[in-house]
């Protein structure tokens, strides 16, 4: 049996969603170490892969001491060629772990909008050249040294990157209808939206998700394949 994938979360409503579906029968564990000063994280030889999910905090927020432990584990995982996937906040933590910079309040992107895919990568290939995906962020990162830019938008120059065994995605390929409905009924997610924005995002989701979900699962399955290859 493959070694388990560790999924690190930062908010109860921001779970792995479609990533779990793509992992299929692969074992995985979900943990939250956000506010633990010295969390006992598994050693890399115990892990088949590492996934770091989103959350509302800043990636360098010293008020959440567990983030420093996540950065250390991410840097070690990339050095050890362990398959890594970072999503939204997870992508920003990954970028910091690899020597990139965080740009706070770079520009708000919330809702479904296209990104431009600028480099072929197995994880993004099923989405197409200009997929419409879900955004929910206002921070951004600079491309880490040595990383390859995979996707961009006008507001966010680094929407996705690859660095060795790791892929970072600023947008949310893990979203399905159930997870989107959860977000749109979670006060911390919607309280700052303008009137009508939640209804608009729900309508956008009904239009885009039927095509986006199978493409996202196909791309995420390449991450699962990398975990299987690690054994």
State the catalytic residue, choosing from 14, 70, 109, 174.
Answer: 174
Query: What span, in angstroms and rounded, lies between the C-alpha atoms of 67 and 94?
Result: 10
| Bridge partners, residue 86, by sequence | 52, 168
The tokens for 107 are 């520009």
Q: Does residue 208 have an active-site annotation?
A: no
Token representation of residue 129: 């050249």
Residue 172 bears catalytic tag: yes
**What angle, rounded to 10 degrees, do the helices at 66-79 and 89-97 form?**
60
**10 in active site:** no
Question: Is the Cβ–Cβ distance between 10 and 86 less than 8 Å?
Answer: no
Residue 51's DSSP bridge partners are 7, 85
Q: Tokens for 228?
A: 């299987």
**Is 81 within 8 Å of 45 (Cβ atoms)?**
no
Q: 136: Cβ–Cβ under 8 A, 6 or more apart, which residues?
A: 54, 88, 109, 110, 172, 183, 189
Among 112, 140, 109, 114, CA closest to 127 = 114
What DSSP string runs through 123-134? TTGGG-SS-EEE
Catalytic residue among 70, 88, 135, 137: 88
Annotated active-site residue in 64, 135, 137, 172: 172
Q: Could you list the active site residues?
A: 88, 172, 174
């Amino acid at each position: 049996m493959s070694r388990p994938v560790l999924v690190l979360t930062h908010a109860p409503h921001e779970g792995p969603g479609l990533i779990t579906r793509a992992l299929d029968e692969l074992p995985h564990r979900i943990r939250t170490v956000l506010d633990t000063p010295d969390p006992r994280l598994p050693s890399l030889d115990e892990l088949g892969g590492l996934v770091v999910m989103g959350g509302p905090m800043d990636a360098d927020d010293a008020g959440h001491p567990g983030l420093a432990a996540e950065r250390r584990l991410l840097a070690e995982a990339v050095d050890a060629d362990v398959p890594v996937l970072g999503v939204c906040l997870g992508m920003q933590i990954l970028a910091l772990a690899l020597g990139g910079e965080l740009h706070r309040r770079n520009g708000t992107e919330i809702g479904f909008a296209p990104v431009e895919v600028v480099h072929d990568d197995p994880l993004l290939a099923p989405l197409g050249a200009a997929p419409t995906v879900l955004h929910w962020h206002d921070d951004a990162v600079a491309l880490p040294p040595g990383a390859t830019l995979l996707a961009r938008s006008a507001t966010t120059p680094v929407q996705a990157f690859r660095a060795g065994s790791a892929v970072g995605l600023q947008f949310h390929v893990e979203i399905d209808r159930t997870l989107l409905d959860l977000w749109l009924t979670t006060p911390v997610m919607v309280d700052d939206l303008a009137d009508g924005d939640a209804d608009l995002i729900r309508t956008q989701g009904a239009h885009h998700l039927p095509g986006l979900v199978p493409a996202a699962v196909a791309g995420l399955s390449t991450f699962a394949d990398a975990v299987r290859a690690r054994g």
